[in-house]
């Protein structure tokens, strides 16, 4: 009896200690991220919302160097993220430009982040995904009186790069029509060259730069079917747009600046040794962007282009992210000792005996899970297109509006259902007769479990909101981000969660019943489960990028963006078993872990993607 009391006190103390450590990590990470993001308080970082046409709006992060004033106006660059990305992902550009005295405005494109959806059927050309009305607002009002309106630039990555070019073309056509200088002084296009055509370029009255990764996964679509810019027809089209027929060049010298920035004919092409997905996080790419804008804006700054600190901010945000995830389980443990939730705690069932027969069963299901995950992943996009046609076409809809996450939804649903069938079949034939477990839960406990999961979820995202309010930072690292939620995402999640929960429940049952063996070390057991979650998907990445390295072309072309999503999805898949096992240790059943991980991780995915909902 005394031993049980001591054990309970020890567990309680550990929960409190871990909770304190988690909160300290969040605080350290958030303060550090804030300090770096503001460059030691030399930059004001402000979240703004600007109303645009048709009742639409754009949310943006303004990075304003304190040296920029009405009496000392500074140049400005508007930054447009790519497909399924938000303004926070552009910190490398936002921060480094601001450190060099350039005001930056990183926007959430329409249908992404916290901006509204758009009513336009051709948003990239008509609106620049929101950048065009923003630039009009900057230049046609006196709100940004600290901005030099003759030195306004635009940049973006991937779809955002295309938007940057279209913005330059839009204002170039306007300038030609009105016989006045273009509102865009300079445009830097990153990771997109398909629209570098004579039709788009002919009216541009801006300095132009192009940065294209040497290993860009989407380069198979280029005219030469590769990412080599030296003889690229697209790159040549851009550079030769400033030359007469007799002066046109036959090959591009990457890094060489052609033309003259004073008359807006500057042209430069970079071909960094990086792929498409990670281009915004490449220091050489950021360095080339800085060279372009400091040259075209005639900025003499003592900071070298290689002097960058944005990645330190990423490290601090990672510390906060680790703290946030560490917070979840001990916080749940404390709530489980309260009177209202203590009834959810049950005895932990006995693990499976680690004998030869069980090893064979486990090996079979392990291999089956990996193969099913591998084979099904690239078959899903076609089904997603058929089931969610409007979202797949970018048409606003109330029927599953998350274009990119619809494929993830179908993949998890399929794997969850198949996994539960395999588990049920194995259970009926082998485990049930041995009375190893009882997975049933009564209605009262189920309701309490749901309430507890919502409490944990709400507190977790409450920490995100508090952190964002005080420091204007969130919890993230590169492609994984826990952002503040908005009402639209919360409402849309009600459509997705009932289907996602099937996979998370299957995963929790598999981890805690079918993959928990007596005598096996806990860390080995959980690691094996984590690998089972990831290996099938990891095989896809290996095939895709080995093929790219060997042939210069990705193996899966049509679905290359979908395969690229795995860089952010696999880490989430890897950590799910860790949460499931620790929750199981606290409750003796699989339900709380499944619900909490589903709520938090699905919200992470939904809140970092493109969404087509009616305005």
- Does 519 fall in a domain? yes
How many C-alpha atoms does 31 have within 13 Å on its Cβ side?
6
Statement to judge: residues 383 and 263 lie in one domain: no
Q: What is the dihedral of CA 238, 82, 283, 68, to 10 degrees?
A: 90
Identify the domain containing residue 354 by its residue range. 13-21+314-391+401-607
- Does 379 fall in a domain? yes
pLDDT at 439: 79
pLDDT at 354: 72
Statement to judge: residues 592 and 506 lie in one domain: yes
- Each residue of 457-481: pLDDT tens digit? 999 999 999 999 999 999 999 999 9
Can you say whether the dihedral through the CA atoms of 400, 402, 407, 411 is positive or negative? negative
Tally of domains in the chain: 2
Residue reference for tokens 């070019």 = 165
d(CA 152, CA 187): 9
Cβ count within 10 A of residue 397: 17
- Does 271 fall in a domain? yes
Q: Kindly report which listed range (302-316, 456-470, 500-514, 515-529) carries the lowest average pLDDT score.
A: 515-529
- Each residue of 248-277: pLDDT tens digit? 999 999 999 999 999 999 999 999 999 999
Tokens found for residue 603: 């919200």
Statement to judge: residues 332 and 270 lie in one domain: no
Whether the pLDDT of residue 517 is over 90: the answer is no
Statement to judge: residues 229 and 136 lie in one domain: yes
- Does 26 fall in a domain? no
CATH code, domain carrying 193: 3.40.50.1820
- Does 32 fall in a domain? no
- Each residue of 377-434: pLDDT tens digit? 988 988 999 999 999 999 999 999 999 999 999 999 999 999 999 888 887 776 665 5
Strand 207-211 to strand 186-190: parallel, antiparallel, or no bridges (unpaired)?
A: parallel
Domain end, chosen from 273, 306, 339, is at: 306
Statement to judge: residues 412 and 290 lie in one domain: no
Domain end, chosen from 306, 324, 350, is at: 306
Cβ atoms of 265 and 205 within 8 Å: the answer is no
Statement to judge: residues 428 and 560 lie in one domain: yes
Cβ atoms of 191 and 156 within 8 Å: the answer is no
Domain end, chosen from 306, 326, 359, is at: 306
Statement to judge: residues 277 and 186 lie in one domain: yes
Identify the band that residue 143 occupies on the pLDDT scale cut at 50, 70 and 90: very high
Statement to judge: residues 471 and 562 lie in one domain: yes
Q: Between 166 and 354, whose confidence is greater? A: 166
Statement to judge: residues 513 and 433 lie in one domain: yes
Cβ atoms of 59 and 49 within 8 Å: the answer is yes
Identify the band that residue 584 occupies on the pLDDT scale cut at 50, 70 and 90: very high
- Does 27 fall in a domain? no
Statement to judge: residues 353 and 431 lie in one domain: yes
- Does 261 fall in a domain? yes
Tokens found for residue 275: 């792929």
- Each residue of 146-173: pLDDT tens digit? 999 999 999 999 999 999 999 999 999 9
152 membership: H or E segment, kind and range:
strand 147-157
């Amino acid at each position: 009896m005394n031993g049980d009391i001591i054990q309970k006190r020890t567990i309680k103390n550990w929960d409190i200690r871990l909770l304190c450590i988690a909160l300290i990590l969040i605080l350290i990470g958030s303060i550090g991220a804030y300090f770096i993001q503001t460059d030691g308080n030399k930059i004001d970082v402000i979240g703004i919302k600007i109303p645009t046409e048709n009742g639409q709006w754009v949310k943006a992060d303004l990075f304003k160097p304190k040296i920029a004033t009405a009496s000392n106006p500074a140049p400005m660059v508007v930054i447009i993220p790519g497909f399924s990305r938000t303004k926070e992902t552009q910190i490398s550009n936002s921060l480094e430009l601001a450190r060099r005295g350039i005001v930056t405005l990183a926007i959430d494109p329409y249908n992404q982040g916290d901006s509204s959806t758009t009513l336009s059927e051709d948003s990239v050309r008509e609106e620049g995904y929101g950048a065009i009305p923003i630039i009009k607002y900057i230049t046609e009002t006196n709100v940004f009186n600290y901005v030099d309106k003759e030195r306004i630039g635009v940049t973006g990555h991937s779809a955002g790069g295309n938007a940057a070019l279209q913005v330059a073309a839009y204002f170039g056509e306007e300038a030609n029509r009105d016989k006045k200088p273009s509102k865009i002084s300079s445009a830097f296009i990153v990771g997109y060259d398909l629209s570098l055509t004579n039709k788009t370029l002919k009216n541009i009255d801006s300095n132009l730069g192009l940065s294209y990764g040497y290993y860009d996964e989407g380069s198979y679509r280029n005219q030469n079917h590769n990412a080599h810019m030296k003889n690229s027809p697209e790159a040549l089209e851009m550079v030769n747009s400033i030359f007469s027929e007799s002066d046109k060049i036959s090959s591009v010298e990457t890094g060489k600046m052609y033309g003259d920035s004073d008359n807006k004919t500057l042209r430069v092409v970079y071909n960094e040794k990086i792929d498409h997905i990670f281009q915004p996080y490449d220091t050489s790419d950021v360095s080339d962007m800085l060279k372009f804008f400091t040259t075209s804006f005639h900025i003499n700054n003592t900071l070298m282009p290689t002097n960058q600190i944005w990645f330190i901010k990423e490290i601090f945000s990672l510390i906060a992210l680790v703290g946030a995830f560490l917070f979840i389980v001990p916080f749940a443990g404390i709530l489980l000792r309260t009177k209202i939730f203590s009834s959810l705690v049950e005895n932990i069932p006995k693990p499976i005996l680690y004998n030869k027969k069980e090893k064979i069963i486990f090996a079979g299901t392990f291999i089956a899970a990996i193969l099913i995950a591998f084979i099904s992943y690239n078959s899903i996009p076609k089904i997603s297109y058929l089931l969610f046609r409007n979202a797949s076409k970018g048409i606003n809809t109330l029927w599953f509006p998350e274009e990119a996450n619809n494929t993830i939804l179908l993949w998890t649903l399929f794997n969850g259902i198949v996994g539960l069938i395999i588990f049920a079949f194995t259970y009926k034939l082998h485990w049930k007769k041995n009375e190893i477990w009882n997975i049933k839960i009564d209605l009262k406990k189920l309701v309490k479990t749901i309430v507890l999961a919502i409490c944990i979820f709400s507190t977790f995202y409450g920490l995100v909101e508090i952190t964002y309010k005080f420091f204007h930072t969130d919890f993230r690292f590169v492609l994984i981000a826990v952002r503040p939620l908005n009402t639209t995402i919360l409402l849309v999640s009600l459509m997705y969660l009932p289907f996602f929960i099937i996979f998370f429940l299957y995963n929790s049952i598999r981890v805690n019943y079918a993959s928990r063996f007596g005598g096996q070390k806990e860390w080995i057991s959980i690691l094996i489960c984590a690998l089972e979650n990831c290996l099938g998907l990891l095989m896809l990445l290996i095939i895709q990028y080995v093929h790219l390295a060997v042939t210069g072309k990705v193996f899966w072309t049509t679905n290359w963006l979908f395969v690229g999503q795995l860089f952010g999805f696999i880490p989430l898949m890897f950590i799910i078993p860790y949460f499931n096992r620790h929750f199981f240790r606290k409750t003796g059943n699989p339900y709380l872990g499944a619900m909490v991980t589903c709520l938090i991780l699905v919200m992470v995915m939904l809140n970092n993607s493109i969404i087509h909902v009616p305005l």
